[in-house]
Amino acid sequence: MNIEDALRQRKSVRAFHSRPVEPEKIKAILAAASHSPSGANMQPWLVAVVTGETKKRLQSKIENSFRNNDQKNADYKYYPTTWKNPYKRRRVHCGRQMYNALDIQRHNKQQRFDQWAANYRSFDAPVMMLFFLDATMEAGSFLDCGMFLQSIMLSALEHGLATCPQASLSEYPKIIKETLGYPQDSTLLCGMALGYEDTSATINSYRTPREEVESFTRFYS
């Protein structure tokens, strides 16, 4: 698979087979992604690969907090406080595509709630990956980790695996850090679901649109 094909084929997958992911594949993906660029070669990313009983225990704690309406307390703000177009319009369209694919009507709040709760189980993927930064790192390391995350997702495709990057998994950092033994002053960036895609699942059937280059680029000569 060439790079352009991989970029176009990558998508966020929200239904996975229960088949375990071979540890050697995970290590190979992370080894490839470790070649991502970073400022002054700091390589600031810290990764937790969570599977098996530990994943079951952790996701149960996170999902219960969500269902109990416990206060979310992410280490940083991912989304804007005030939404404006075109970002608001794109966000609404993205959500509408997903719920339409699942035939979940707007008035069915329980079904929507249950579908959102699946975020905290990494959509039942066999692997939940979590990404941290040391407390000493600054905003520039967010850029480094973004490139690292993209490298993981592209490398996963090469190994026949699917992914879904998840900002939602950063919403309960205290639970995650306590369970996995990370310092409370570290930054929990996000998570990622990893596994073999269930291609028969309706939720994996849609693709979100992309803007034309001219809409977000200015050319100077």
pLDDT of residue 106: 86
213 in a structural domain: no
pLDDT of residue 111: 94
Burial label, 193 (beta-carbon count in 10 A; 0-12, 13-18, 19+): buried
64 in a structural domain: yes
Across 76-113, b (16+ Cβ under 10 Å) vs e yields: eeeeeeeeeeeeeeeeeeeeeebbeebebeeeeeeebe
pLDDT of residue 1: 83
Where residue 175 sits, what CATH number does that domain have? 3.40.109.10
Residue 204's CB is within 10 A of a number of other CB atoms, namely 20
Whole-angstrom Cα distance, residue 148 to residue 34? 7
Q: What residue numbers bound the domain in which 59 lies?
A: 13-207
Sign of CA dihedral 94, 205, 33, 188: positive
Query: By three-state DSSP, how is residue 29 classified?
Result: helix
178 in a structural domain: yes
6 in a structural domain: no
pLDDT of residue 23: 98
* DSSP output for 117-171: HGGGGGGG-SEEEEEEE-TT--THHHHHHHHHHHHHHHHHHHTT-EEEEEGGGGS
148 in a structural domain: yes
DSSP letter at 16 equals B
pLDDT of residue 57: 98
**CA distances in angstroms from 202 to 97, 103, 119, 172, 209, listed in the order given:** 11, 10, 16, 29, 18
8 A C-beta contact, residue 120 and residue 12:
no
Whole-angstrom Cα distance, residue 125 to residue 117? 14
171 in a structural domain: yes
Count of domains for the chain: 1
Q: Which tens digits make up the pLDDT trace of 57-95?
A: 999 999 999 999 999 999 999 999 999 999 999 999 999
pLDDT of residue 109: 92
Cis peptide before 20 (omega within 30 of 0): no
215 in a structural domain: no
Positions in the chain whose pLDDT score sits under 70: none
219 in a structural domain: no
